[in-house]
Amino acid sequence: MGSVYKPPDSVVVNRIQRAFPSDELRERARATNLIQRERKLDVVALFYTLSLGFAAGSDRSIQAFLERYVETADC
């Protein structure tokens, strides 16, 4: 049996960033009134934390979400 191809992390990250461009995420956040001005909330970090980090983790507490958001947003 052949082994399953696993692309390097950089390839995966690049594909995700192309699928969900930061500028487009910010535009949609403004268009849907999620944010009216950018201050402390980083919409891109929030999106990635909710969709990729927080949902996939085994610990789904508010504290775990906050820790992942801070890590993603580099706060």
Residue 51 in any domain: the answer is: yes
Q: How many domains does the chain have?
A: 2
- For 30-39, what is each residue's pLDDT tens digit? 899 888 776 7
Tens-place pLDDT, residues 45-67: 888 888 776 555 567 778 887 88
45 & 69 share domain: yes
> Which pLDDT value is given to residue 1?
58
pLDDT-based confidence at residue 12 (cuts at 50, 70, 90) = confident
Q: What is the mean pLDDT of residues 15-35?
A: 90
Q: What is the dihedral of CA 10, 64, 62, 66, to 10 degrees?
A: -60
Question: Could you tell me if 55 and 31 lie in one domain?
Answer: no
20-56 as b/e, with b when 16 or more CB fall inside 10 Å?
Answer: eeeeebbeebeeeeeeeeeeeebbbbbbbbeeebbee
- The residue among 57, 17, 71 whose CA lies nearest residue 25 is 17
Residues 49 and 61 in one domain: yes
Check whether residue 46 and residue 31 sit in a common domain. no
Are 43 and 62 within one domain? yes
Q: Looking up tokens 């983790």, which residue turns up? A: 57
pLDDT at 45: 86
Does residue 15 sit in the same domain as residue 28?
yes
Domain span at residue 60 reads 37-74
Percent of the chain whose pLDDT exceeds 70:
84
pTM of the model: 0.64
